[in-house]
Structure 1
Amino acid sequence: MSVTVAIAEPGQHTEGPHWDHRTNTLLYVDLLDPCVCRWDPVTGERDTFKMACSPGCVVPRESGGAVVAAGTRFASIDFRTRRLTTLAEVNHDKPTNIFNDGKCDAAGRFWSGTMGKDSAFGKFEFGAGSLFCLHTDRTVKKALGGVSISNGLAWSPDNSVMYYIDSLQFSVDAFDYDLSTGTPTNRRKVLTFDPATSVPDGMTIDTDGNLWIALLNSGQVVQVDPNTGTQLRAVKFPTDRVTSCCFGGPDLDVLYVTSTRVNMSAEQTLQQPLSGCVFQVTELGVRGSPGMDFRG
């Protein structure tokens, strides 16, 4: 395998990469320099959509443009007109919460979860967040409460299992998933991590059903079989602070990995100057499942 820098200009806290197969571009967000970015790997051009509040994740919209979970609202983005339009709002009882990671299921519902304000950046508010689902009719349902840092999501290739990370549980949980209704049930832990060394952050899944999990603080993305808990391989990066990952490229065989420079000292930043960049991993010998669009 080969690890190289895809986007060399570092962000503050790059997150939520998502490959848009319609435009062959990579979408991602920066939570602290609040913006949504759309990057073309062929031309190297990057379109930056500045935000007034912190975006947690972004997905393409089937009807055009994209949908972002930012602050406490789901909103559509029109890159052409530079217009942001609110679709729904959440956490009316906790207005300081902010959205974090998320993605769409195979039916086009947009799942994203919240966390207590600043909890991603060192000030934890345990159990303040929730996991929400924006349905295609734009209604929102709360699926889980008591979440600390809502993070990675993935679905098994047959869509019968939903995988979910609450980072401060230091685990990957699985649910039985009813795609017809968007209902997760029977929550159980399938993977656990050592809190002293690794914080599970964003994740994706390959066509073999193996999870790829970004481990904040340990500088690696690990490939794990969720059925056995076996780690199959680990990909190391020139920063300890990787945040999330997705498969992209025309053949979905490139792993894109985001990173952060939040809470790094001047000395750490000097030692790891590529922190905050977006990386790409090639020659992995696997392909990813395509990211889904929001269909509402």
Structure 2
Amino acid sequence: MSVTVAIAEPGEHTEGPHWDHRTNTLMYVDLLDQCVCRWDPVTGRKGKLKIDCSPGCVVPRASGGAVVAAGTRFAALDLQTGQLTTLAEVNRDKPTNIFNDGKCDAAGRLWAGTMGKDSVFGKFEFGAGSLFCLNADRTVTKALGGVSISNGLAWSPDNTVMYYIDSLQFSVDAFDFDLSTGTPTNRRKVFTFDPATSVPDGMTIDSDGHLWIALLHGGQVVQVDPNTGTQLRAVKFPTDRVTSCCFGGPNLDVLYVTSARVNMSAEQTLQQPLSGCVFQVTGLGAKGRPGMSYMG
């Protein structure tokens, strides 16, 4: 196994990595720099689009371009011009909320959740956020309320279980999932973290149904078997601030991991200069599942 830097230019809060198999590029966002990035691992070229609000995630759109969950809206993104076209708005009663992590289910719905804006800076607003689903017809369903920091999402290989992280619950929760209706039910915890050492952030799932969870302030990504509630292994990084992960590469066997440097002191930045970079892990012996596009 090898951990190396994929993208050496550090961001403030890189998040939401998504492997676009159509172009063999990695898409991700910088929440605080308000930009959407696309990186080609073959050429090493990175494109960067500035937008007018904080993006929590980006996914390709089946009809072309991409969709972002940014600020308090779902919006189509023109990848050539950077123009945003609003598809739907959420949290009208809480205009200072912002979207955080999100991704699409196998039916092409985009799931993303919100949090209080100051949560990025450690000023938590407990229960201020919600988890939303942008359906293919552009209607929005509120799946959960009372969320503090909406974060990682994943679905089991057979699409019958949805996994979800609210970071300040310090757990991974599972729901029975009806793919035909997009309805999650029967919430239960499948893995719990020690709040003193680990804050679960973004996550992905491999082809064997094991979860890979980024631990903010924990400096590692852990592999968990959600069926037994056991940790299988941990991959450590040269920064405490890992934020999310996804499998990518032509064979979906490279784990890409984003990180952040927000709230770091000058001394901490000197000690961990690679914070904010995007890392890649090879030789894991695990493979991911293709990331889904928004179908609306």
TM-score interval, smaller chain: over 0.9
Contact kept, 8 Å, 1:108 with 1:292, in 2: the verdict is yes
Whole-angstrom CA distance in 1 between matches of 2:293 and 2:38: 15
Q: Which residue of 1 aligns with 2:110?
A: 110
**Could you give the per-residue CA deviations for residues 56-110 of structure 1, whole angstroms, max 9, x where no partner exists?**
0011111111100000000011112332111110001111100000000000000
CA distance in 2, matches of 1:81, 1:243: 28
2:247 maps to 1:247: yes
Q: Deviations over 1:117-167 (max 9, x none)?
A: 211221100000000000000000100000000000000000000000000
1:88 aligns with 2:88: yes
How many Å separate the matches in 1 of 2:198 and 2:120?
14
What are the within-5 Å matches in structure 2 for residues 34-73 of structure 1? 34-73=34-73
Q: Is the 8 A contact 1:216 1:240 kept in 2?
A: yes
**1:119 aligned to 2:124?**
no
For the Cα contact (< 8 Å) 2:50–2:82, is it kept in 1?
A: no
Q: Secondary structure at the match of 1:267?
A: helix
Q: Aligned runs of 1:220-231 on 2, under 5 Å? A: 220-231=220-231
Give the whole-Å Cα distance in 1 for the aligned partners of 2:12 and 2:256: 17
CA distance in 2, matches of 1:157, 1:121: 35
Does 2:223 correspond to 1:218?
no
Taking the aligned partners of 1:162 and 1:121, their CA distance within structure 2 comes to: 28
Equivalent in the alignment of 1:10:
10
Deviation at 1:218, TM superposition (A): 1.0
1:246 Cα deviation (Å)?
0.2
Three-state SS of the structure 1 residue aligned to 2:63 is: coil
1:147-158 equivalence runs, <5 A:
147-158=147-158
Residues 255 and 281 of structure 2 are in contact (CA less than 8 Å); yes or no, is this contact kept in structure 1?
A: yes
Return the alpha-carbon distance in structure 2 between the equivalents of residues 19 and 65 of structure 1. 14
Q: Equivalent residue of 2:117, what SS? A: coil
Contact 1:257 1:279 in 2 (8 A): yes
> Which amino acid in 2 is paired with 1:227?
N
Q: Which runs of 5+ in 1 are unaligned?
A: none
TM-score by length of 2: 0.99
- Whether the aligned pair in 2 keeps the contact of 1:219 and 1:241 (CA below 8 Å) is yes
Q: Which residue of 1 aligns with 2:142?
A: 142
TM (norm. structure 1) is 0.99
Separation in 1 of the partners of 2:272 and 2:82? Answer: 34
Q: In the alignment, which residue of structure 2 is the partner of 1:201?
A: 201
Could you say which residue in structure 2 is the equivalent of 1:183?
183
> Whole-Å Cα distance in 1 between the matches of residues 88 and 243 of structure 2?
26
Report the more deviating stretch, 72-81 or 169-178: 72-81
Structure 2 CA distance for aligned equivalents of residues 65 and 251 of structure 1: 23
> Structure 1 counterpart of 2:54, which letter?
S
Distance 1:18 1:127 in 2: 27
The match for 2:159 is 159
Contact 1:148–1:166, Cα closer than 8 Å, also in 2: yes
1:261-296, Cα deviation, whole Å (9 max, x unpaired): 011111010000000000000011110011100000
Q: Name 1:271's counterpart in structure 2.
A: 271
Instruction: Please give the alpha-carbon distance, in whole angstroms, between the structure 2 residues aligned to 1:82 and 1:31.
Output: 16
Could you tell me whether the CA contact under 8 Å between 1:120 and 1:149 is conserved in 2? no
- Aligned AA for 1:10? P
Alignment-mate amino acid for residue 66 of structure 1: A
Return 5+ residue gaps in structure 2 as ranges.
none
Counterpart CA distance in 2 for 1:265 and 1:75 is 34
